[in-house]
């Protein structure tokens, strides 16, 4: 039952979008997913209240860090296979590490050097929490809102800055897509968007599939190990 957290000290980096896309992609593969919304603005709770939320996804509010454990307990009643925690965009978001044990922490960032500086801070924060708790917290950055057509030069700078600090980057970036924005207005999953005539849904679906595969590879034990268990 992997627990995944999205954190970044910078607001608007793409945490909530990335958390929802992961939940939708996993649900599409048949997994039960608990989304814990630990942002006081409750964007995922609001998405969950819109029509056509997939049955496989439950949303649980945890307005403060102290509420996360209760939210996770409430979520466990539905026996989720994955738990995904979205946090507010500030260093306070990292306080969730005191509440739950995570198998993977993801920090989305847009392709600007300023974002890279914030993502490096997030990586340091995650590493220091891991050290204090006496266990390594796997952390990856996730490039988000990458333009589909042209890869800006700043993206290469950002990747270079992260690599220089030995920070891992998820191999699949999230593309800038109107469909991803629209999910929060229309509700439901990508099929709801098709019904609303929103374009680019097929490409959005492919992007989610590749993203979910990349996350899955990171948290699932290698096949040989799985067979040995």
Ligand X SMILES: Nc1ncnc2c1ncn2[C@@H]1O[C@H](COP(=O)(O)OP(=O)(O)OP(=O)(O)O)[C@@H](O)[C@H]1O
Q: Does 207 interact with Mg ion (rule: CB under 5 A)?
A: no
Residue in 145, 155, 193, 211 binding ligand X, rule: CB under 6 A: 145
Residue in 4, 123, 162, 174 binding ligand X, rule: CB under 6 A: 174
Binding partner selected for residue 13 from Mg ion, ligand X, none, CB under the kind-specific 5 to 8 Å limit:
ligand X
Residues 36-65 that bind Mg ion (CB under 5 A): 39
**Residue 165 CB, nearest distance to ligand X (Å)?**
21
**Residue 85 CB, nearest distance to Mg ion (Å)?**
11
| 71 C-beta neighbours (distance < 10 Å), count | 23
Of 3 and 17, nearer to Mg ion (C-beta) is 17
Q: Does 130 interact with ligand X (rule: CB under 6 A)?
A: no
CA distances from 105 to 5, 87, 144, 193 (A): 5, 11, 15, 29
Residues 31, 80: Cα–Cα separation, whole Å: 8
Q: Does 176 interact with ligand X (rule: CB under 6 A)?
A: yes
Give me the residues that bind ligand X (CB under 6 A), please. 8, 11-17, 39, 88-89, 144-145, 174, 176-177, 180-181
């Amino acid at each position: 039952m992997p627990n995944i957290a999205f954190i970044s000290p910078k607001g608007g980096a793409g945490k909530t979008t990335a958390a929802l896309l992961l939940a939708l992609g996993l649900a599409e593969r048949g997994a039960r997913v608990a989304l814990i919304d630990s942002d006081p603005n409750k964007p995922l709770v609001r998405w969950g209240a819109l029509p056509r939320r997939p049955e496989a996804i439950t949303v649980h509010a945890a307005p403060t860090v102290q509420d996360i454990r209760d939210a996770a307990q409430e979520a466990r009643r539905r026996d989720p296979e994955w738990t995904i925690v979205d946090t507010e965009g500030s260093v306070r978001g990292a306080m969730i590490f005191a509440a739950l044990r995570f198998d993977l922490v993801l920090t989305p960032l847009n392709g600007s050097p300023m974002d890279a500086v914030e993502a490096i801070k997030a990586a340091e924060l995650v590493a220091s929490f891991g050290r204090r708790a006496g266990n390594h917290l796997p952390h990856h950055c996730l490039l988000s809102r990458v333009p589909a057509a042209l890869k800006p030069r700043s993206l290469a700078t950002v990747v270079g800055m992260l690599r220089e600090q030995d920070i891992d980057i998820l191999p699949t970036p999230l593309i800038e897509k109107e469909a991803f924005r629209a999910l929060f207005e229309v509700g439901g999953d990508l099929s709801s968007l098709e019904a609303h005539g929103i374009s680019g849904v097929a490409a959005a679906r492919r992007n989610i599939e590749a993203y979910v595969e990349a996350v899955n590879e990171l948290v699932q034990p290698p096949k040989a190990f799985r067979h040995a268990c």
